[in-house]
Amino acid sequence: MTVLVFGRTGQVATELRALLPAARFVGRDEADLQNPQACAAIITQTRPSAVINAAAYTAVDKAESDEDTATLVNGAAPAAMAAAAAALGVPMVQISTDYVFDGAGTMPFSPDHPTGPLGAYGRSKLLGEEGVRAASGPHAILRTSWVFSAHGANFLKTMLRLGAERDALTVVDDQIGGPTPARAIAEACVTIANALINDPTLTGTYHISGAPDASWADFASEIMAQARLDCVISGIPTRDYPTPATRPANSRLDCRSLDRFGLSRPDWRAAIGPMIRELGAPS
C-alpha cells in the first residue's frame, strides 16, 4: 500500500512520518500548493492507495491580509487533489479546523452543524472542505482544534519558553476548546484512510479534539504544572488580547462520530509530559 502525504515538516506531517515510514511525503519544494493542478498531477502520477493532505496555510492572522494565498492553498489545492484522487477511486483524508464554525454558544459543534467562519482562514478551509466533497470520491474531512506537539510552532512550545523567562503570564480564558496532540490526529488519519480503503461508505465529515475541553489559560496552567515552572497564569478576556483574526469563543467539537473507527478523544493532559521530555525540558 502506498500512501501519499502532502506535507513533510508540519506538526501532523512530522507525526505521520513516524507512523508511515514507507509513505511518500511531498513537501512544498516538490508540490507548490499555490499551483493546485501540480498537486493533482502528483496524485495522478503516483497512483497511491490513499491520499492524506496534512499541508495547509495556517497563519491565521496573516490570512486576513493574504486571503488570496490562503484560498489557493487551503481551498483550491485540496479540491484539485480530491478530484485527482476521485478519478483514481482512492480515498483522501483532508484535515480541517474548528474555524469553519462561528464559535457561538457553549455546546460542542457536531459534524453536520451549519458552518459560519469568522475570518479568512476559516473561509479558506471551508472552501477546501466543499471542494473535497464536490469531487465525490471516497473521503474523510477531519476537523480538529488547538494542535500541539514537540515540533514546529505551537502553544505548548511558546508557553514553555515564556514560562522559563517570566514569573507571570496573562492568557485568554474565555475561548474554550480541546487541545489536540498532533500524534493523535496523525493516528486518526492513518486509521481512517485504511478504513476508507476497505469501506468507501465511511465517507464523511468527522471531528477529533482533545479532552477535556478547556480554556487557553487552563491549558497554560497545566503546561506550567507539568514542566514545574513557577510561572503564574492569570486569565484575561479575549478583548484584552486583540488579534487581526477573530478567534471562535467556542471551539468545542462533538467527536462521537469517531466511534465508527474505534477512536476516541485523546487526553491532552497525558500528552504534555512526553512532549516536554522530548523537548529536553524538566518535568
From the number of C-beta atoms within 10 Å of its C-beta (0-12, 13-18, 19+), residue 154 rates as: middle
Cβ atoms within 10 Å, residue 57? 24
In whole angstroms, give the CA distance from residue 73 to residue 7: 12
Given the residues 57, 99, 121, 206, the one annotated as active site: 121
In the block, cell 484512510 appears at: 193
Cβ atoms within 10 Å, residue 149? 24
Asked if residues 143 and 206 have their Cβ atoms less than 8 Å apart, the reply is yes
Strands 139-144 and 176-177, by their bridges, are unpaired
Chain-centroid distance of CA 29 in Å reads 21
Known catalytic residue at 121: yes
Backbone conformation region of residue 47, classed left if phi is above 0, alpha if psi is from -120 to 50, else beta: left
- With vertex at residue 65, the alpha carbon angle to CA 60 and CA 70, rounded to the nearest 5 degrees, is 55
- Cell (9 digits) for 155: 502553544
In whole angstroms, give the CA distance from residue 73 to residue 77: 5
In whole angstroms, give the CA distance from residue 126 to residue 205: 12
Which of the residues are catalytic?
A: 121
